[in-house]
C-alpha cells in the first residue's frame, strides 16, 4: 500500500464521526444494531474509508446525497468487516440510478443466433471496476428486512467472488472443478438448489440463485447476513463456508 494512503487512512480513522452521520447510521443501517460492539465501530471505520477512496456518482438524473452514500458504504462494509480485501481494491466507482435502468445486452446462441436489445436491471457489477445500483431497489430492501434481499450485499459480493475466483471453480451444472473443501461444499449446495428450484421445492435461497454459481453465491450472501439462522438450518455446509470466507458468524449476532 502506498505510504500516503496508509497515512491518510490512519488520519481519517482518528476523526470522530459527525453526529449527523451517527444519526443516519442509527436509523438507516439497522444491521449495525445486530453487531457486537467492536464490529459496530469497525463497520463505521470501513465506511469512512470507502467514502474517501471510492467515487460515488448519481446517474440518470439522481441527485446523490451524503445520506445515500453513507448508507451504501455502510452496507458494503458489512462484507469486509473481517476481510478488508483492501477495501474492494480495484473498485473505482459506484454509480447510482434512481430506479431500474436500461442496460444494453448482446447474447450469441448456438447456430449464430444473436439477441440484442435493452433490459431492465436493478444492479450490476462491471468487472472493470464499477458497481451500478438502483436507489429505489436499495430502499425497497432496507424497508423490508425480512425478505432476505439486499442489492448492496449482492453486487459487492460479486466483486469479492470475482476477485478471489470463488465460483469460477464450479460449473454451470454444479460440478466442482477444484478439489478444495470450500468449492466442494458450495458446489454441492448449488446442485441441491438447482434440484429444489427445478422441482418447485422450497429453498431458503431465492430462485434467482439457480441462474449460475456466481448468482447463487451472491443471493446466498444476502441470506447469510439477513436470515442467517434459516440458512444455517437449511444449508449448514454452505453457511459454514460463507462464514469461513467472510470470517463472520451472523447467527451469533443479536
Identify whether the C-beta of residue 32 lies closer than 8 Å to the C-beta of residue 25: yes
Q: What angle do CA 14, 130, 64 make, to 5 degrees?
A: 65
CB of 217 to Zn ion, least distance (A): 9
Beta carbon of residue 246, minimum distance to Zn ion (angstroms, whole number): 17
Q: 39 vs 137, which CB is nearer to Zn ion? A: 137
Mark the segment that binds Zn ion (CB under 5 A) among 56-64, 216-224, 229-237, 243-251: 216-224
Of 22-30, 66-74, 97-105, 217-225, the window that binds Zn ion (rule: CB under 5 A) is 217-225
- Three-state secondary structure readout of 171-217: CCCCCECCCCHHHHHHHHHHHHHHHHHHCCCCCCCCHHHHCCHHHHH
CB 217 within 8 A of CB 157: yes
Pick 44 or 155: Cβ nearer Zn ion: 155
Number of residues that bind Zn ion (CB under 5 A): 2
Dist CA 115 CA 233 (whole Å): 41
**Going residue by residue from 157 to 176, which x/- string records binding to Zn ion, judged by CB under 5 A?**
--------------------
Least distance in angstroms from the C-beta of 218 to Zn ion: 5
What residues from 181 to 200 belong to the interface with Zn ion (CB under 5 A)? none
Nearest distance from residue 215's CB to Zn ion, in Å?
A: 5
CA–CA dist 230, 223 (Å, integer): 8
Q: Cβ of residue 16: shortest distance to Zn ion, in angstroms?
A: 36
Tally Cβ neighbours within 10 Å of residue 132. Answer: 20
Among the listed residues 4, 34, 16, 17, the one whose alpha carbon sits nearest the alpha carbon of residue 145: 34
Catalog residues that contact Zn ion under the rule CB under 5 A.
215, 218
Amino acid at each position: 500500500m502506498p505510504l500516503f494512503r496508509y497515512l491518510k487512512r490512519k488520519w481519517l480513522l482518528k476523526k470522530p464521526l459527525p453526529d449527523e452521520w451517527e444519526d443516519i447510521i442509527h436509523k438507516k443501517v439497522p444491521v449495525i444494531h445486530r453487531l457486537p460492539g467492536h464490529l459496530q465501530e469497525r463497520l463505521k471505520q470501513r465506511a469512512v474509508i470507502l467514502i474517501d477512496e471510492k467515487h460515488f456518482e448519481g446517474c440518470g438524473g439522481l441527485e446523490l446525497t451524503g445520506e445515500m452514500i453513507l448508507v451504501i458504504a455502510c452496507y458494503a462494509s458489512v462484507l469486509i468487516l473481517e476481510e478488508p480485501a483492501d477495501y474492494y481494491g480495484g473498485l473505482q466507482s459506484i454509480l447510482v440510478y434512481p430506479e431500474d435502468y436500461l442496460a444494453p445486452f448482446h447474447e450469441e446462441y448456438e447456430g449464430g443466433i444473436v439477441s440484442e436489445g435493452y433490459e431492465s436491471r436493478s444492479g450490476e457489477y462491471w468487472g472493470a471496476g464499477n458497481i451500478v445500483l438502483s436507489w429505489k431497489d436499495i430502499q425497497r430492501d432496507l424497508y423490508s428486512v425480512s425478505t432476505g434481499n439486499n442489492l448492496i450485499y449482492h453486487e459487492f459480493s460479486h466483486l469479492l467472488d470475482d476477485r478471489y475466483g470463488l465460483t469460477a471453480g464450479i460449473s454451470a451444472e454444479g460440478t466442482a472443478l477444484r478439489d478444495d473443501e470450500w468449492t466442494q461444499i458450495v458446489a454441492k449446495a448449488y446442485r441441491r438448489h438447482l434440484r429444489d428450484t427445478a422441482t418447485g421445492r422450497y429453498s431458503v435461497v431465492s430462485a434467482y440463485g439457480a441462474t449460475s454459481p456466481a448468482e447463487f453465491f451472491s443471493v446466498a450472501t444476502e441470506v447469510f447476513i439477513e436470515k442467517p439462522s434459516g440458512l444455517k438450518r437449511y444449508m449448514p455446509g454452505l453457511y459454514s463456508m460463507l462464514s469461513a470466507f467472510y470470517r463472520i458468524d451472523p447467527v451469533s449476532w443479536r
